[in-house]
Structure 1
Amino acid sequence: MIETAEATKFQYNPRYKPNQLICGHGQTGVIAGWTVKSAIAKRLQSHEFAVIGQLYSPTRGISFLIRNLLANPHVRFLVILNGTKEDRNAGGCECLLDFFRHGFSEGKSDTGRECWLINSPIPGYIDIEINAASLDKLRQSVEWCEVKSITEVVEKVKSYGLKNTVKPWGESLIFPQTEVIPTVLPGTRYGHRIEGKTIAETWVKIIHRIKTTGTIRPTGYDGQWQELIDLMAVVTDEPSGFYFPEPNYLPCDSTFIEEYIHQIIDDAPILEGVKYTYGQRLRSWFGKDQIEQVIHKLISEIDAASAVMSLWDVKDHEKGGSPCLNHLWLRVVDNELSLTATIRSNDMYMAWPSNAMGLRALQQYIRDEIAKRSDYNLKIGPLITVSQSAHLYDDTWENADQLIKKQYAKLCQKRDFYDPSGNFLIEIEGNEIVIKQTTPGSGEVVACYSGKEPLKLVREIAAASPGIHPEHIGYLGIELQKAAESLKTGNPYLQDSK
């Protein structure tokens, strides 16, 4: 067995995402996947490992991981933990294993950028700036193994530690990195509202809003994000089986969602190294099944405003790893069941579509259980999410730009111009412009505005109906200017005429 003094001569020096890694003095790297890295570290001595880190995504994480390994050639062994349901769903560890098994080929990422494609059925990208010879050298120089549990990780790390010290396979290698810098337009910092019929439609609008006016701030994860604070998204008509575009531009598919729904609706045992699931927090964490409580509450009091579920534990302040989804509220109005979810921190590119579909499934489940157990046959109302920090991580900015380029204009072309604020009928009466505001359904006149100055009238209407759609108020400005010109010239005015 090698002496501790000999084992501690190495120091892992992460060049990328250092705050996300636990660094040691050995020659074995541990890829923890979705298993909490600290659960592994507490069972090892620092001289037994070089580094322990998570790997959540094959498209966002592997390139950084490989860059760090190339910069630390004293790492000669890798233990890759690929054992949880989350690992299987995400595919990051499996894709990394395929890099060592099968190598890589030249290709393009999903944004069209030149890159190295890992030879795997799971899409995985490595920056093209890293030369192929260095990648091949890494594959040949590192001994790797796959394990399925924390116990196996510890056993393998300790067994590698029994080997004699191995010389680094080469010099530390650092490669250039392309940086994406977004252009940000001025906009509101707090309080935003976006509405769409489907989760897919709403998601594209969310990404556009954040990329356009979101503030760029540093994260706690060695990077930046673009953020809006308190973003309310309203999904009105998501179908029961979920809508997936064809081709699917969402960051999830139906197979992933089938698995993910169980993490929200079903209870789960507490396992070492595995974070809570939302279902665990809702079903058993506090000693009560909150989903059952809400079902019983609404059956007994259908108009209740107290059908609340909480996922935040006051101990979360102390131990970290607190849930992003914090609060759920269900409400029945006009025989329609809505669900409002408060999410304190929300990755809007990778996570929000799955979050929304999982919450919609929970909403449907509660509606169906109420129908089974009572005479209430409720309709499914809107799903509302309030994302307190709605953000895009910097490693998805390029993807977000491509999504906006390909999808946002299409959505705008398909938009209807229904406005809950109603319709506005413009006429000339005597020597004044008269605007009658009517309800959007029955056409009942509910307000009347009159005057000669278009700007003054626009401001009056906007103040009285602050929820009016922006393009609607723009349309009114154009029409009122035309009406004002008619007053000056004496020519007849007819709304919507050229």
Structure 2
Amino acid sequence: MQKKYVPLYKPNQLILGTGQIAVVSGWIDKGAIAKKLEPEEFAVIGQLYSAISGINYIIRNLLYNPHVRHLVIVNATEEDNNSGAAKCLLHFFRHGFEPHKRNNAPDSDCWKIISKTVGYIDKEIPFENLQRLRESIECHEKISITEAVTLIKELAKKVEKTPEPEWATPITFPLIETVPTIFPGERYGHRIEGKTIAETWVKLVHRIKTTGVLRPTGYDGQWQELINVMAVVTNEPADFYFPQPNYLPMDRQYLEQYIPYILDDVPYYREGIKYTYGQRLRSWFGRDQIEQVIEKLIKEIDADSAVMNIWDSGCGNLFSRPDGASDHEFPGSPCLNHIWVRVVDEEILLTGTFRSNDIFGAWPANAMGLRALQQHIRDQLARRSKYDLKMGPLITISQSAHLYDNTWETVDQLIAEQYPQICRKKDYSDPAGTFLIELVNGQIEVQQQSPIGETVFRYSGSNPLQLATQICNASPAILPLHIAYLSIELQKASECLKANHHYIQDK
């Protein structure tokens, strides 16, 4: 029986066929499976990155296409294991679901899939419809493209020989979509700093979720986006910090599998992957750029030209694509484009520039991979030269820093649980220095000292607002909490001056 699959949701994310077998390819490129099949052998092929909302759309589309009788789930990659989305979908069919309240909030009823990975289905879909769906579709799991394609072809022949009737009439249910609350803020040029990657990540997520601009994506959805976001990680430990309990979207096992994708020259780790960053750095352009940077710094430790490039502009390079085509012409072009290494004050720092950065799902692994590269270069310099450098900051510049709409609910929960705790860990050090306030000869005098205690400037006056303005104008990078503290102290000093009272800072 041939019938066109009709997707009500996310149609631009799907490859459509005329068969009775739906395929979920997980993190594997759906095109890598489609090119091995004929359209009549499958009904639809789509990817699944997140269990939180991705499964909800799959369920809704299947309810509208009851001619689908088989579901093949490809659970093949480290990313699939890390996200758990493929397993969660499998568990819906094998273990079922139960009533639940998201974040224990009122009016947040939903169905929760019985799985270790959190996955929700809208409460608007009745229990009996979900149960009938589970009973009517046979679910299969495969761990490679080859195994999946073999099974799909076998099932297609079986269905062609003995067509299976539709198990219900097409049905749809209202979809209620939430619109995030967005506070006013800068669109361009943000700087966020944290001691660890985990801390910096929560701050990044909070900034984008609260002030990011809503924009449509090319994938039938929305994201919240900020332009040109700089993240500075100052003290990530050598063995990496994973919070307990771990709220990062990855664990140590995943990290161990991910780091070689940046450090090593292995062109294809698995089917469906076009390239790795390590391949781009080690051999894509006919030279080992990591080795070049190490040699550059050995010869010229103060060089500002220790640069690695990942973007392929074509330009007829014989060592890149055989046809000389550029990354502009292909989908799935690299998100990480440029890496810069610099030695400053006997510290090695690394800056990675991303054209597009999924901050929730990808940034933590990206940052840890770059930190591993930074450590590798430092260690090689120590082994092969006289330079035994300290690890300086890791900096990422995300030209498009965004959160996809299918993560918003999880992001809200992360912010509610972790952001207040991070804010309570106050660090009063400020690169702008410290400010000592006194009353001298009927005036408020403010002495600005550098972080090492040197007096760099003195401000004097009787108007606290004017003094605060002068200080902020002279030191525009002063931390916001420091500005608030100064304003309070200057106002106290002003009141003491008017009342002829003795003023003592912080009293």
TM-score (norm 1): 0.92
Q: Offset at 1:211?
A: 2.0
Greater shift, 464-473 or 354-363, is seen at 354-363
Give yes or no for contact 2:190–2:229 (8 Å, CA) kept in 1. yes
- Are residue 129 (structure 1) and residue 112 (structure 2) matched? no
* 1:338-360 deviation line (CA, Å, top 9, x unaligned): 11111121121222122211211
Do the aligned partners of 1:201 and 1:411 also contact (CA within 8 Å) in 2? yes
Q: Is the 8 A contact 1:34 1:274 kept in 2?
A: no
C-alpha distance in 1, partners of 2:140/2:244?
A: 38
Cα drift, residue 53 of structure 1: 0.7
Q: For 1:269, which of 253, 267, 270 is the aligned residue?
A: 267
Distance in 1 between residues matched to 2:88 and 2:408, nearest whole Å: 22
Q: How has the CA–CA distance of structure 1 residues 364 and 110 changed in structure 2, closer, same or farther, with 3 Å as cutoff?
A: farther
Alpha-carbon contact 1:77-1:144 (below 8 Å) kept: yes
Task: Confirm or deny that 1:285 pairs with 2:284.
Answer: yes
Does residue 1:424 correspond to 2:435, yes or no?
yes
Change (3 A) 1:360 1:472: same
Aligned to 2:498: 488
* CA distance in 2: counterparts of 1:331 and 1:365, whole angstroms: 14
List per-residue Cα deviations over 1:303-322 (Å, max 9, x = no partner). 11111111111211001211
Residue aligning to 1:357: 368
Hey, what's the Cα distance between the residues in 2 that align with 1:305 and 1:494?
Answer: 47
Mean CA deviation greater in 55-64 or 410-419: 55-64
Unaligned runs of 5+ in 2: 314-325
- Indicate the residue corresponding to 2:320 in structure 1: none
Structure 2 equivalent of residue 444 of structure 1: 454
Once residues 45 and 187 of structure 1 are traced to their aligned partners in structure 2, the CA distance between those partners, rounded to angstroms, is 50
Residue 341 of structure 1, aligned match among 352, 361, 364: 352
Q: CA deviation at 1:242?
A: 1.3
Residue by residue over 1:136-194, the C-alpha shift from the partner in whole angstroms, topping out at 9 and shown as x without a partner, is: 22222223433344444444434333324322110122233343322111111100111
CA distances 1:399-432 after superposition (whole Å, capped 9, x unpaired): 2222222222222222121111011112222232
Say which SS state the counterpart of residue 496 (structure 1) adopts. Answer: coil
Bigger Cα displacement from structure 2, 187-196 vs 306-315: 306-315
Please point out which of 390, 402, 405 is paired with 2:413.
Answer: 402
Partner of 2:170: 172
Q: Could you tell me how far apart the structure 1 residues matched to 2:339 and 2:470 are?
A: 37
What residue in structure 2 maps to residue 330 of structure 1?
A: 341
Letter of the 2:296 counterpart: K
Change (3 A) 1:399 1:78: closer
Report the 3-state secondary structure (helix = DSSP H, G, I; strand = E; otherwise coil) of the residue aligned with 1:226: strand
Write out per-residue CA displacement over residues 249-278 of structure 1, whole angstroms, 9 at most, x where no aligned residue.
222222221212122222223365223222
- Verify: 1:71 aligned to 2:82, yes or no: no
Most deviating of 65-74 and 474-483: 474-483
Could you tell me which runs of 5 or more consecutive residues in structure 1 were left unpaired when the two chains were aligned.
1-5
1:377 equivalenced with 2:391 (yes/no): no
Over residues 425-463 of structure 1, what are the superposed CA-to-partner deviations in whole Å (9 max), with x where a residue is unaligned? 12222232221111122x111011122222222111111
Provide the residue aligned with 1:29 in structure 2: 22
Q: Is the 8 A contact 1:111 1:398 kept in 2?
A: no
Task: Tell me the CA shift for residue 106 of structure 1.
Answer: 4.0
- TM-score, scaled relative to structure 2: 0.90
Task: Confirm or deny: 8 A CA contact 1:34 1:55 kept in the other structure.
Answer: yes
Counterparts of 2:247 and 2:144, CA distance in 1 = 34
Change (3 A) 1:415 1:229: same
| CA distance in 1: counterparts of 2:428 and 2:468, whole angstroms | 18
| Closer, same or farther: CA 336–68 of 1 in aligned 2, 3 Å | same
How many aligned residue pairs are there?
Answer: 489
User: Aligned with 1:248: secondary structure?
Assistant: coil
Question: 1 CA distance for matches of 2:454 and 2:499?
Answer: 32
* Pairs within 5 Å for 1:13-28: 13-28=6-21
Distance 1:369 1:11, change over 3 A: same
State whether residues 180 and 398 of structure 1, in contact with CA within 8 Å, keep that contact through their aligned partners in structure 2.
Answer: no
> In structure 1, how many angstroms separate the alpha carbons of the residues matched to 2:115 and 2:409?
23
Change in 2 beyond 3 A, CA 1:475/1:146: closer
How far 1:108 sits from its partner (Å)? Answer: 5.8
Give distance in 1, aligned partners of 2:392 and 2:433.
Answer: 21
Indicate the RMSD between aligned Cα atoms, in angstroms: 2.2
The change in CA–CA distance for 1:60 and 1:380 in structure 2 (over 3 A counts) is farther
- In structure 1, the residue corresponding to 2:355 is in which secondary structure? strand
Partner of 1:3: none
Percent identity of paired positions between Structure 1 and Structure 2? 61
Aligned partners of 2:96, 2:502: CA distance in 1, in Å? 75
Partners of 2:52 and 2:406 within 8 A in 1 = no
